[in-house]
Structure 1
Amino acid sequence: MWKRYAFLAYNKGMNKKIEKLFLWVLCITTCARLLFAAIVPITGDEAYFITWAKHLDYGYYEHPPMIGWIMWLFSFFGSDIFVYRLFPVLCVPVIAIILVRLLADIDRNNAFLCGVIFLLSPVSMLNVLSVNDVPLIFFSFLSGVFFYRGLKTDKIIDAILSGFFWGCAFLSKYFAVLLAVSVLIFSVIKRNRKIWKITGIAVLSSIPLILLNLAWNYNHCWTNLTFNLFFRNKDIALKFSSFFVFLIEQVFLMTPYLAFVFLRKRFFLKECKTGGIELFWFLFLVPFSFFLCLSFLKNIGLHWMASFYPFFFMIIVFLQFSILDRAARYNFYLSIGIVIIIIALVSIPPGVFRNTEKYSQIIMFSEPQRVADEINRNLDGRIPAATGYTETSIFSYYCKRDFIMIGSLSRSGRYYDFITDFKNFDGKNFLIVSLNKKDAEKLSNYFKKIDVKEVDIMGASFFMISGEHFIYNQYRDIYLSRILKMYYTVPGFLPRGRNFFVERYFPELVYSK
């Protein structure tokens, strides 16, 4: 396919064939990603966000609520993980079409090649999991596009939509703040009245969504803020290894050839200045610079920067056609490699990892229905529970019943604190599923009697811990009091609203005030 179309656009009369190439790539990559959505096992985060969707709210622990809302909407079309993954699968072609449409006014041939390069990039090919990075990417892109349109058309509606979509990005993940900082820096440097006008309107239109999140945080111990600013950054320390890992990640996301061109062309600043899309340069380079500096202090996730990469694939529109053609070729081969690797990984028999320490986790993800069937056979009317948020979420999804999280001190997955009231389980019997036999000893203080049954599933050990007669008061005094101090004590510099955890378990603290 590639040899048939690749060099044809050197002739200006070959626009249609470049467009045809784009459509072919759009269809093929979408089909490949639909395949990934069908064969890749569900992740713990996806199962956790499905739990969010079951309990529709205007806020959740850890992150803003957008992914929970989106998964709630998709739940009307089915409960299979494939249905939930249709959102990320569809977002990529929508972004590609908008990208091409916007850039076509600058250079039509290059615009379609930029679309091809984007579709074949790791940012797109790997975007199949239904996690909160997906709405962040999608709404950040739309916000940037409408801000650009506002500058071109001077229409208020474009500025309003830019602000609205930025608000949606903010309600997806707080990395959206970097987009706002990018626009602010762009506005300050350009010192243009029209830019400040568009910026002001965008800010005003985003305020209702910001206030919604602030209201939720005020009434829920500021858990979004404390989780993202404090709990996740306790390991901050100067380390050069994370810096080099970050550079490798960016070379992978840009693709090696375009990373080389990016450096050789001095970050494309000259091209973007003369081409009128300097805004997109700022929307990419400011977050890039921030994460580059942060990488000296902590590990940067591969997906953290991915939200801003659609802007990178827009600013390359001013490169020579021969460079874009070569980049598209390399991305074509890279995408084939990605397809082969993913299919190979999911095809590996789980038994290959039998002697590894994480074998039970591998079985939990690769054969979740077998594990769920075994749990249901042992349940016998008891309260289903697990000792970690990943296990709780996965078992809830595959057992088709609500599990509760018990005994976990992890900073992650604490939304189960919001939807679980342990007072209701006083005196009840539990079946606690664990991957670690030592959990039985940790939980023994909270039950009158503990029995452990080891279940073998494909050579992996799962422990069915039967807890007879749950002792709520003991659980409250030992465990819940510790959780209160660790996660639900509001920092002194923040205003205090309601504290659901105190009201539910420690009402005497409310009355004492």
Structure 2
Amino acid sequence: MAEHDSPAPTETPAPTETGTDTSTRALLGPGHFLARLPMHRLVLGVAAVLLLFRIWLAAVTPITGDEAYFAFWGWQPDWGFYDHPPMVGWWLAPLMALSWDEWVVRLPALLLPFVLAGLSGWLVRRSGIAFAEERGWLTALLVLLLPTSVWNVFITTDTPLVFFSLLSVAAYVVALERQGWQRWALHALAGLMLGLAFLSKYFSVLLGVAFLVHVIVARREEGWRRFAEFALFVAVALLGPALNIWWNCSHCWANIMFNLYNRHESSGWGKSWANPFLYVLTLGYVATPFLLAALWKFRDEVKNAIAQPGLARTAFWLAAVPLGLFAALALAKKIGLHWLLSFITLLCILAASSLPMTALRRLAAWLGAFAALHVVLLLVVSQLPLSTWEKADFHRGLVLTFRSQELLQRLEPYANDYAFASDGYSNAVTLGYNARRYFMVFGLASSHARHDDILTDFRELDGKNILILRKSEPNPGEYAPYFRDVQQLAFQVEGVTFYQVLGHGFDFHTYRERVLRDVKQRYYRIPGFLPMNGCYFCERYFPDEECR
């Protein structure tokens, strides 16, 4: 039986305003006014207002360190990059060629909520359930009013991940309704979209596990054919990992080393018992307490919906499995807010497919109030001076981000005679993005964002001058071993002291033995079971030594 061939559930229509008694109005609560509005106009109006707000936010907020880091991937696109698979760099490459303006390079993230809202609403409208047309528009409204739909205009690897993940879900849902060659073709398309999601971020594997669970548990009535269809799905999806493995094999297994080894120094089972509680709080915020409370309050209706083959059942399994796996992972490490974004839209689809109409309208009203609160807070915060945060640990970083041009003016006299650098990737790429000139990372730095190891060849800097800009004071003699002579200057911006280290006559050989060898031991000890066709770091600096 096809996934959506079962009869659609029925529901008593919501009362109209005429003849609605006081008790019914109280039941409708804040969602009562939604019953009187043309839903498509309401959704389009909210989308228009939200679009204007997001364009403003993207234009006035300076590029952050992570965003600038990914922007430099787009500046020099390749088949792969250090931290993650290459998709976000591929997305940014044409935009970077067009313009470096913040709102341009943020366009994919800026537009993502509207794509998600449109696609999820379309899935619900075509599902055949009672009130499908209005439920579809309400689905889109729920997605648009999620907190991250309000403020998340920032460049991350999660933007293409979320996009391709939902496309994969949509192709899969439609495939289950078709027969013949169309069913097979749509399974292949769903696999291709999952493969592209993998080239965005490895977390797509969790969605792949969810597909497998759905095939085993929720499609038992289809017999063995479902496993043949899933085999085709997997075969096409593996094209993404194959490309990623090919690149990693000749590039120090950089993605694997970062994601499975180097970034987890502080992780481990039971190391922080706060992590599970933080995960619950994070999920509660991203999905909103209102959405989770509605799903719980109407759990009987949700159970009835997912008991039948259909969209609600598919959305439930494809959301519940990854979110459950994250809950287990939270016992070992902190779960990032952005990790959850691929699956929250599915919770909106589940709610829209199973909740009573009155509850759904009421939920949309509460989400609208929550979204409006975010808008007001962001408008207020945008008007506060940077000095408001002067006692916070992140104040120095804020000044560097928001006052980059003032810092760069201090460096202008040295532009022709020095290579520019900073002591960490966030400072370096933020300054580099605003200067439209690459700043390298000088020193050991951290396990994160070591793409500079690919871009910078310190051999070429031997004997040259290097200017290192820092937001913390260097230790006495910290840079003396690496230069013929060193001069240190200090200046203030917004009350924050920054430091310029002017190094003359860079000594590459000393730097290799004292810094690059440490980098090799920490971050390029590649396990022996991984076959290697090349490693840029070891071939460049330690050609006679193994990267093992």
TM-score range, shorter chain: over 0.9
Q: Render the CA deviation track for 1:86-112: whole Å, top value 9, x for unaligned.
A: 111112111111111111123111121
What is the deviation of 1:327? 0.8
Mean Cα deviation higher: 307-316 or 227-236? 227-236
Equivalents in 2 of 1:370, 1:241: separation in Å?
Answer: 40
Q: Render the CA deviation track for 1:372-402: whole Å, top value 9, x for unaligned.
A: 2222234452111111000110111111211
SS of residue in 2 equivalent to 1:64: coil
Q: 2:445 aligns with which of 366, 391, 409?
A: 409
Q: Render the CA deviation track for 1:109-168: whole Å, top value 9, x for unaligned.
A: 112111111101113223311111111111111111101111112313322221111111
Which residue of 2 is the match for residue 199 of structure 1?
A: 230
Q: 1:48 aligns with which of 56, 69, 73?
A: 69
Equivalents in 2 of 1:32, 1:194: separation in Å?
Answer: 48
**1:293 to 2:328 alignment:** yes
Equivalents in 1 of 2:195, 2:245: separation in Å?
Answer: 12
Mean Cα deviation higher: 178-187 or 440-449? 440-449
What is the deviation of 1:440? 6.4
Equivalents in 2 of 1:374, 1:65: separation in Å?
Answer: 35
Which residue of 1 is the match for residue 531 of structure 2?
A: 495
Structure 2 counterparts to residues 26-37 of structure 1, below 5 A: 26-37=47-58
**1:259 to 2:292 alignment:** yes
**1:353 to 2:381 alignment:** no
What is the deviation of 1:409? 3.1
Does the C-alpha gap of structure 1 residues 384 and 390 become closer, same or farther in structure 2, counting only changes over 3 Å?
same
Which residue of 2 is the match for residue 87 of structure 1?
A: 108
Which residue of 2 is the match for residue 183 of structure 1?
A: 211
**1:246 to 2:279 alignment:** yes
**1:96 to 2:117 alignment:** yes
Mean Cα deviation higher: 102-111 or 319-328? 102-111
Q: Render the CA deviation track for 1:185-214: whole Å, top value 9, x for unaligned.
A: 111223334433432222222222221100
Equivalents in 1 of 2:478, 2:227: separation in Å?
Answer: 58
Q: 1:233 aligns with which of 256, 264, 275?
A: 264
Which residue of 1 is the match for residue 162 of structure 2?
A: 137
C-alpha contact (below 8 Å) 1:9/1:109 kept by paired residues: no
Q: Render the CA deviation track for 1:491-512: whole Å, top value 9, x for unaligned.
A: 12222221111111111226x9
Which residue of 2 is the match for residue 109 of structure 1?
A: 134
What is the deviation of 1:357? 4.4
Task: Give the letter for the 1:202 counterpart.
Answer: F
What is the deviation of 1:9? 6.9
Equivalents in 1 of 2:325, 2:237: separation in Å?
Answer: 23
TM value normalised by structure 1: 0.94
What is the deviation of 1:370? 1.3
What is the deviation of 1:297? 2.2
Equivalents in 2 of 1:24, 1:77: separation in Å?
Answer: 30
Could you tell me which runs of 5 or more consecutive residues in structure 2 were left unpaired when the two chains were aligned: 1-27
Mean Cα deviation higher: 249-258 or 314-323? 249-258
C-alpha contact (below 8 Å) 2:487/2:502 kept by paired residues: yes
Task: Give the letter for the 2:48 counterpart.
Answer: C
Equivalents in 1 of 2:149, 2:528: separation in Å?
Answer: 43
Of all paired residues, the percent bearing the same amino acid is: 29
Task: Give the letter for the 2:250 counterpart.
Answer: N
Which residue of 1 is the match for residue 96 of structure 2?
A: 75
Equivalents in 2 of 1:96, 1:51: separation in Å?
Answer: 30
Which residue of 2 is the match for residue 373 of structure 1?
A: 409
Task: Give the letter for the 2:492 counterpart.
Answer: D
CA RMSD of aligned residues (A): 2.1
Equivalents in 2 of 1:222, 1:255: separation in Å?
Answer: 38
C-alpha contact (below 8 Å) 1:284/1:312 kept by paired residues: yes
Mean Cα deviation higher: 188-197 or 32-41? 188-197
SS of residue in 2 equivalent to 1:461: strand
Q: Render the CA deviation track for 1:263-309: whole Å, top value 9, x for unaligned.
A: 33449343223261212211100111011112222211111111211
Could you tell me which runs of 5 or more consecutive residues in structure 1 were left unpaired when the two chains were aligned: none
What is the deviation of 1:404? 1.1
Which residue of 1 is the match for residue 459 of structure 2?
A: 423
Equivalents in 2 of 1:340, 1:56: separation in Å?
Answer: 38
What is the deviation of 1:6? 5.6
What is the deviation of 1:328? 0.6
Task: Give the letter for the 1:217 counterpart.
Answer: N
Equivalents in 2 of 1:287, 1:478: separation in Å?
Answer: 43
Q: 1:382 aligns with which of 418, 437, 440?
A: 418
C-alpha contact (below 8 Å) 2:257/2:524 kept by paired residues: no
Q: Render the CA deviation track for 1:208-233: whole Å, top value 9, x for unaligned.
A: 22211001111112121121122222
Mean Cα deviation higher: 26-35 or 196-205? 196-205
C-alpha contact (below 8 Å) 2:444/2:518 kept by paired residues: no
Task: Give the letter for the 1:174 counterpart.
Answer: Y
TM value normalised by structure 2: 0.88
Q: Render the CA deviation track for 1:223-273: whole Å, top value 9, x for unaligned.
A: 211211222222224133221121111111222122112233449343223
Task: Give the letter for the 1:164 counterpart.
Answer: L
Q: Render the CA deviation track for 1:316-356: whole Å, top value 9, x for unaligned.
A: 12210111111111111111111112222232101223344
SS of residue in 2 equivalent to 1:509: coil
Which residue of 1 is the match for residue 255 of structure 2?
A: 224
**1:313 to 2:341 alignment:** no
More helix, by proportion: 1
Equivalents in 1 of 2:57, 2:111: separation in Å?
Answer: 13
Which residue of 2 is the match for residue 149 of structure 1?
A: 174
**1:399 to 2:420 alignment:** no
SS of residue in 1 equivalent to 2:176: helix
**1:276 to 2:307 alignment:** no
